[in-house]
Amino acid sequence: MRQTSVIIFIALAFIISSCGQSSSETNSNDNSELVNVVGTKVSFPKSSFKASKGLSGLANENDAIILVTELLNDSYQSQANNLNKSFIERSGGEILDIKQYKLDGYNAKQFIVKSPDSLKIRMALFGDNSFCTFLTAKHYLHDDESEKEIEYLLEKVEYDKNIVVNPLALSPFIIDGDFKGFKHFTKSQKTHFYTRDGNERINKEKEPSLAIVYGVLTNKSELEQSFKQLTELNDVSKYKIQRNDNDAYEGVFDLGNGQKRYLLLLEYDLNFIMVRGTAMKEYDRTISDFKKFASQIKWKE
């Protein structure tokens, strides 16, 4: 569970694909009011953009979007080093401009990129030695209205360290139970990372990693197919279980490198949750703790 890869993964996803869907309105251009992006410490002036459904960010009717990804236990410098020209070029993007500047008083770095699928993408990092926030804005090349508004919004970002963030605000699940063997560490949109104490793992070769990923299936059979792909098995029938009257798959697998992998896939109304834990030592205790923790995952009503 390397945090240096979190930002890179999000950026790559936006270069090669698009996402949209919006919900609650923010129609005013009165910049005396700010709109906080749910689940983050970031706020933007009110605009024609609306809160994005299921993602931490804003979107408009033209499928332009501003995605906000926060790493509250990382530093700006570590992520700025990873977001570089070679990464952009390997991802198939054409760099149009690069700048380093100040954003709401914090060090910031921005790439403006043309993607292979006719999108203009702005990737802006800002933060200090205790956090890093990544803003990914995209719009179609000839959508001048969206571009102008995105430029304005990215210059007017405000970051409030005093905002108390609920990391599961947009997730379809809650953690409901008394077992405290793992605590929330950080999140990257639809992926949540947990560690023993809620801090970054000091010894990544010994300390267990745990992640929860959620999304939407196209059909119920996709849950089984996903478990087959994750385990590289043709027959996964012995791992099929029932949980709250819904199909699920659960198993423990030897990775062959001194590590063991715990996998749990849950489904409800075509929504899925995947729990993935990796044990490096004390296998019996760690796997048992993974299962105790996973048993507390409940779908939101």
Q: How many domains is the chain built from?
A: 2
Identify the CATH number of the domain in which residue 60 sits. Answer: 2.60.120
Asked, for residue 264, whether it belongs to a domain, the answer is yes
User: Do 144 and 201 fall into the same domain?
Assistant: no
User: Do 13 and 96 fall into the same domain?
Assistant: yes
Asked, for residue 133, whether it belongs to a domain, the answer is yes
Cα torsion 11, 13, 19, 24 to 10°: value is -50
- Coil, helix or strand for 125? strand
CA distance 61 to 18: 14
Asked, for residue 166, whether it belongs to a domain, the answer is no
User: Do 154 and 189 fall into the same domain?
Assistant: no
User: Do 114 and 181 fall into the same domain?
Assistant: no
CA atoms within a 13 Å half-sphere pointing along the CA-CB vector of 109:
14
User: Do 134 and 242 fall into the same domain?
Assistant: no
User: Do 119 and 221 fall into the same domain?
Assistant: no
Q: Which is nearest to 125 in space by CA: 83, 93, 166?
A: 83
Asked, for residue 165, whether it belongs to a domain, the answer is no
159, 190, 214 - which closes a domain: 159
User: Do 135 and 23 fall into the same domain?
Assistant: yes
Residue 59 structural domain: 4-159
pLDDT confidence of residue 200: 83
Owner of token pair 């890869």: 5
pLDDT tens, position by position, 252-291:
999 988 899 999 999 999 999 999 999 998 999 999 999 9
Identify the CATH number of the domain in which residue 236 sits. Answer: 3.40.1000.10
Residue 38 burial class via C-beta count within 10 angstroms: exposed 0-12, middle 13-18, buried 19 and up: middle
pLDDT confidence of residue 117: 83
159, 191, 207 - which closes a domain: 159
User: Do 136 and 199 fall into the same domain?
Assistant: no
pLDDT confidence of residue 16: 38
What Cα–Cα distance (Å) separates residue 175 from each residue in 75, 209, 264? 27, 17, 15
User: Do 193 and 117 fall into the same domain?
Assistant: no
Task: Determine contact, residues 105/135, Cβ cutoff 8 Å.
Answer: no
Asked, for residue 146, whether it belongs to a domain, the answer is yes
Q: Give the single-character DSSP code of 20.
A: -
Asked, for residue 168, whether it belongs to a domain, the answer is no
pLDDT tens, position by position, 221-242:
999 999 999 999 999 999 999 9
User: Do 151 and 182 fall into the same domain?
Assistant: no
Task: Determine contact, residues 279/293, Cβ cutoff 8 Å.
Answer: no
User: Do 251 and 228 fall into the same domain?
Assistant: yes
pLDDT confidence of residue 32: 54
- Binned average pLDDT, 10 residues per bin, the chain of 301 residues: 42 42 39 80 93 83 91 82 78 87 95 89 93 93 94 95 88 93 88 91 89 92 94 95 90 92 94 95 95 95 81
User: Do 287 and 143 fall into the same domain?
Assistant: no
CA distance 191 to 199: 16
pTM flag (> 0.85): no
